[in-house]
Amino acid sequence: MRQADLILYNANILTMDEQRPRAQLVGVKGGRIIWVGDNDELKDLKGRKIDCEGKTLVPGFNDAHCHILAFASSLLSVDCSPSSVSSITDIQARIREQAQKLAPGSWVRATGYNEFYLAEKRHPTRWDLDQAAPHHPIKLTHRSGHASVLNSLALSLAGISAESPEPPGGLIDRDLESGEPNGILFEMEAYLDKVIPPLSEAELEKGVRLANENYLSLGITSLQDATVHNGLKEWQTFLKLKERGNLAPRLSLMMGTDAIAASGLPPRYGDDGMRLGAAKIVLDETTGRLHPSPEELEEQVLEAYQAGFQVAIHAIEEGAVEAAARAVAHAVARHPRRGHRHRIEHCSVCPPPILEQLAHAQVIVVTQPAFIYYSGERYLATVAQEQLPWLYRIGSFLKEGLMPAAGSDSPVVPNNPLVGIYAAVTRKAESGDELAIEEQVSPFEALKMYTQAAAYACFEEEAKGSIAVGKLADLVLLSADPTAVPHEEIKEIRVEMTIVDGRIAWQH
Ligand SMILES: [Zn+2]
């Protein structure tokens, strides 16, 4: 008879462990899995027993790319996402309502707008926001997190005027004749973070507690934060949040290349609760040319790699993806190291020659299947016809022997991994339109991207990603089996219970 803290039995267990793919019972003790077996082994174990009534147990979900503090602050902001507003007029009404609750001069934060889903089919401007609340500085952030709109008061507080030069990599959208900023700013988050007062510690804590509830209710037990302006300060912030019990999922924290070097922390520093992740680089083409330049990028990749770090390069556009693939190939050719696991985040457009390069350099693509669901309609309307078959590929990566992992990029889209699994399997947008259907994968392969492959993408496959003896006891009980229900039903599957570190952290 073995003593366990918790025994889950009568479960349909998808272990994601090739040695033993199916089981009915799992025993955990001290935060680890100590037993995986069948119902008739219940007699061999002592401890608290939970009858799972035939429901499906899988390893806890691991969101391989998200932005925790941005998500937390979005939960405290005016929600301008497509599910809440459908026009600039709606945005104005929501902001006006919020401003009425705040003293003049206090910041109004709004998030989640997407111009494609607005009736006006354009970004709001400073003047639109001035109409809503002229006496409150307003920051309205785009759904992507890569653009925002300030009203006139906010622009003046941020010191942005007709005379302001563009900060490196950023773009101040302007009236072509007068040079007057219209309020729309691209790739200026790092700059704005320095001039706009941050949320107070208490506000931030409140936001993270709300975010935590959301993650746990969706079965997410591990998070990989890909925010490029993370540094030692954010490391301390998260450490404190975790110590206070405000953030239950385990965390892998990426940092920008400069910050990671300056932090003095060695690669993968930390423990199972919180670890240092990859060196993050944002490679972007918003201003019409690549920033950083291909040469600078190669240097940054090589430098981080030589210091022992894995790199994670954000690349969306075809040119960016190509430059990212080349930079990784270059670094790996100069310093071959098996299992470097360099990552390309998003890899949105991947034509055949780049696919070949990625396979050759053994790059890990961290993709966002739920983008297909939430933005598919926009892609079909705006992406060039010849690029559509190469959009958010998954099946091709698997065929090339790569191990793609999945993340939400939350708050860009909602966190729910089951929506991501649904989209990877069906390639369907919310509207029902299909996108690059030949890239579809099986529900099992999709599940793997949110568990085993996500763990592999941050060097943690020894500790998590499957249900096997010795692994961390992070588990999620689902209302149905995603590999067995009709595909259309996958997105309706609910989380019944989330277990982190052997403890029930959330229950339906
Ligand atoms: Zn991101």
Per-residue buried b or exposed e for 63-81, using 16+ beta carbons within 10 Å of the residue's own CB: bbbbbbbbbbbbbebbebb
CA of residue 314 to ligand 1 center, whole Å: 7
Q: How far apart, in whole angstroms, are the C-alpha atoms of residue 347 and residue 234? A: 26
Kindly tell me if the per-residue pLDDT of 373 is higher than 90.
yes
CA 282 – ligand 1 centroid, Å:
9
Ligand 1 centroid distance, CA of 113 (Å): 16
- Distance, CA 66 to ligand 1 centroid (Å)? 6
- 337-356 pLDDT, tens digit per residue, is 888 999 999 999 999 999 99
> What integer pLDDT is reported at residue 288 of this predicted model?
82
Q: Tell me the CA–centroid distance for residue 240 and ligand 1, in Å.
A: 23
Q: Report CA(142)–ligand 1 centroid distance (Å).
A: 13
Cβ atoms of residues 168 and 148 within 8 Å: no
Tell me the pLDDT band of 310, cut-offs 50, 70 and 90. very high
Residues less than 5 Å from ion ligand 1, measured at CB: 226, 409
Alpha carbon of 214 to those of 268, 482, 495: distances in Å? Answer: 26, 20, 11
Q: Where are the domains of the chain?
A: 62-67+199-500, 77-195
Average pLDDT, the chain: 96
- How many angstroms is it from 368 CA to the middle of ligand 1? 10
What confidence score (pLDDT) does residue 317 get?
A: 93
Q: Which CATH number fits domain 62-67+199-500: 3.40.50.2000, 3.40.50.2020, 3.20.19.10, 3.20.20.140?
A: 3.20.20.140
Q: Which two tokens stand for residue 8?
A: 């889950």
Residue 61 pLDDT > 80: yes
Amino acid at 155: L
CA 93 to ligand 1 centroid distance, Å: 29
Output the CA 407–ligand 1 centroid distance in Å. 9
Q: Separation of 412 CA from ligand 1 center, angstroms? A: 8
- Asked if 376 contacts 369 with a C-beta cutoff of 8 angstroms, the reply is no
User: 331 C-alpha vs ligand 1 centroid, how far in Å?
Assistant: 23
Contact 298, 329 (CB under 8 A): no
Distance 144 CA to ligand 1 centre (A): 8
Sign of the torsion angle spanned by Cα atoms 425, 429, 431, 434: negative
What is the model's pLDDT at position 339? 86
Range 448-456 average pLDDT: 98
CA of 342 to the centre of ligand 1 (A): 16
Percent of the chain with pLDDT over 70: 100
Q: Are 116 and 85 in contact (CB under 8 A)?
A: no
Whether 148 contacts 156, CB under 8 Å: no
pLDDT, one tens digit per residue, over 91-107 is: 999 999 999 999 999 99
Question: How many angstroms does the Cα of residue 180 sit away from the middle of ligand 1?
Answer: 30
CATH of 77-195, one of 3.20.20.70, 3.10.310.70, 1.10.3720.10, 3.30.360.10: 3.10.310.70
* pLDDT at 167 (0 to 100): 86
Of 365, 316, 357, the C-alpha closest to 333 is 357
Output the CA 468–ligand 1 centroid distance in Å. 31
For position 399, what pLDDT does the model report? 97
Judged by DSSP in three states, 302 sits in helix
Residue 434 has pLDDT above 90, yes or no: yes
Distance of CA 58 from the midpoint of ligand 1 (Å): 26
> Would 62-67+199-500 and 77-195 be classified into the same CATH topology?
no
Question: Ligand 1: distance of its center to the CA of 488 in Å?
Answer: 27
Q: How far apart are CA 35 and CA 235, in angstroms?
A: 34
- Checking if the pLDDT of 287 tops 80, the result is no
pLDDT of residue 315 exceeding 80, the answer is: yes
**Across residues 387-399, what is the average pLDDT?**
97
